[in-house]
Amino acid sequence: MATSKETDDLVSIVIATYNREKYIGECIDSALNQSYLNSEVIVVDDGSTDGTRKICEGYGDKIRYFYKSNGGTASALNIGIHNMKGSWFIKPDDDDALFSDAVETLLRVAKSNGNKIVSGAYIIMDENGNRIKDHILLPYNYYVLASKLWSDNGCPYFLNSSLIHKSCFDTVGIFNEKELMYEDFEWWLRAILLHRYAVTHVPHFIYRYRIHRNQKSRINKEVRDHLLSCIKEDIRQQIISTDEEW
């Protein structure tokens, strides 16, 4: 078990939430109960109107809680980034949960290979928390990863199960608040294609991803493909204007 005396690497666990009273407590608990002790938990409430705010405030000084008017997930995450004290960032969704050794495992790999982004495997669970599928990917070299990211309309690796060094946001930028959906995908495109970050995959279960009826991502495939195509076209134009060789 890692302790704060063993390292100076503070990890900021940033949770953006909105009307998630059913699951937010489980998510916060998973962040607080990490085996790696040198961490802070930041919860940014994007204007919840249900019992989410009361639940979050019930944690007192165990977490750093921010309440804001509704503006989308990206805007909430960006407030977390601007207020984080740590040198590392991880962002579990408010209806998911981290395994207890998630931060310790990811940070150990990051420190051992010097990479700025490391990403772990995850399980898929139903709305009641029952494990229904395991998701483990092969490690991809940079060019295969970049190709899959572009052609598959999604990154093989899951941003929510990834540990990211804060310096990446200085280079890549924060999350695009114009994107009310798929802000993760847009950030991956900038990080990997525009700024050529490599990602180290950790074949260890880090994250518990929940599937349920009220998920924001559960939309019509045609609408989804259109939104992702618009994001990719914007990135393509940025690549053309900044890196002709690429």
Q: What fold does the segment set 11-242 form as a domain?
A: Spore Coat Polysaccharide Biosynthesis Protein SpsA; Chain A (3.90.550)
pLDDT at position 17 is: 98
> For the chain, which residues make up each domain, given as ranges?
11-242
Q: Each residue of 134-178: pLDDT tens digit?
A: 988 888 899 999 999 988 878 889 999 999 999 999 999 999 998
**0.85 surpassed by pTM:** yes
Structure tokens at 233: 């076209």
Q: What is the DSSP string of the chain?
A: ---TTS----EEEEEEESS-TTTHHHHHHHHHT-S--SEEEEEEE----SSHHHHHHTTGGGSEEEE-----HHHHHHHHHHH--SSEEE---TT-EE-TTHHHHHHHHHHHH--SEEEEEEEEE-TT--EEEEE------HHHHHHHHHHTTS-SS-GGGEEEETHHHHHH-S--TT-SS-HHHHHHHIIIIIS----EEEEEEEEEEEP-TT-TT---HHHHHHHHHHHHHHHHHHHHHH-S--
Biggest alpha carbon distance in the chain? 53
Higher pLDDT, 63 or 180: 63
pLDDT at position 51 is: 97
User: Which amino acid, one-letter code, is at 32?
Assistant: L
Contact between 137 and 121 (Cβ < 8 Å): yes
Model confidence at 6: pLDDT above 50: no
Burial of 20 (0-12, 13-18, 19+ CB in 10 A): buried
- At 240, is the pLDDT very low, low, confident or very high (cuts 50, 70, 90)? confident
The lowest-confidence range among 76-85, 156-165, 180-189 is: 180-189
Model confidence at 2: pLDDT above 80: no
Closest to 90 in 3D by CA, of 40, 147, 126? 40
User: Which amino acid, one-letter code, is at 159?
Assistant: L
pLDDT at position 227 is: 86
**Which residues are within 8 A (CB) of 234 and not within 5 positions of it... i.e. 6 or more apart?**
186
Q: Each residue of 19-64: pLDDT tens digit?
A: 999 999 999 999 999 999 999 999 999 999 999 999 999 999 999 9
H or E segment at 79?
A: helix 73-83
Residues of 63-96 as b/e, b for ≥16 C-beta within 10 angstroms? bbbbeeeeebbbbbbbbbbeebebebbbbbbbbb
- At 5, is the pLDDT very low, low, confident or very high (cuts 50, 70, 90)? very low
Q: Each residue of 108-143: pLDDT tens digit?
A: 999 999 999 999 999 999 988 899 999 888 888 999
How many residues are given for the chain?
246
